[in-house]
Structure 1
Amino acid sequence: MLSRDMTIRAAMPDDIPALLKHMRFLAEFEDYIREFDVDEHSLLARAFGEHPECHIFVAECSDGLAGYAVGLIIPFTYDLKCTVVLKELFVDAGYRGHGVGSALFRHLAAWTLAKGGGRLKWDVMAGNHQAEAFYKKHGGTPDQKWIPYVMNEEALQNLQK
């Protein structure tokens, strides 16, 4: 159950040091720490600038940030409703199993609806069965129609040749 002293709110620039710490933990877990390039300046500009590229929500408790969620908006699709992409959802190990992830996920879902969104999408790292179970528990299902593809920087450059 969610602690009474827990608050889900929009991140603020003062949260950047704690956010970066959590982001590094996630990058380590998901095995991209060598490519992790986010610093205070870039996060300030991209998340808190005049035209933010992402929206970050945090779970705050009396002793600091327990976790965060990052949402990206795809302005509209075929039905003229935006799609929100859950880019990252992270809960500090000491707070797992206490409803923090659920609270962040529900908050992002409500925010999606408030933005006029028609869907919320995300990726789950292959083999992360705990994450799969979490999302299924909250009504998420694997996409049976679409297979995600990706091009890394090298592939993008090769396409230009």
Structure 2
Amino acid sequence: MSLFALFDSARTRLQVIPREGLGELIEPARILGIRRAPRIVSRGWVWHLGAILLSEDAVYATGDIIRAHEEVRRGYPAESQRRRAELAAAARRGGFAEGQTVHLGWTPIDLAAVGEGAASGPLALVAGVPSVRWSAMGGFVPLEGYVEERISLLLHPPLGMGETPH
């Protein structure tokens, strides 16, 4: 199955699953020397398949993931927590709903290049088989099985702790 056919089939199966936001951080220009708050604006909607984000017409490598939240003033024990809170507030200012998942730092994947043997993002041909590196330290696994597993998890999520089947 070609890469394009694989992702077209995935899109068809994922139509019943809600998509998540694809965002871009915008740092507004200063007005009269006054810094304006950054915001994260929508660049579309995607299904999150682990290391891959799939939109209606493109495939992206996953970057950072945040949830949009209203800005809250409080102390943070770590600078990284402060930065995540700032990004969550920027997503809210940019129009994302409270609690909505937003993907940042994503990069487009060139499926044609992968099909010709080049790597693009987490995708590459390994021994002629389209494969995905599911983590920075992980090895490559066949893409078709990886996508199938991710779709299955979205369609049939495992029961969380404390939940009982209906």
How would you bin the TM-score normalised by the shorter chain?
A: under 0.3
TM-score (norm. length: structure 1): 0.25
Higher strand share: 2
> Relative contact order: is structure 1 or structure 2 higher (C-alpha 8 Å, sep ≥ 6)?
2
TM-score (norm. length: structure 2): 0.25
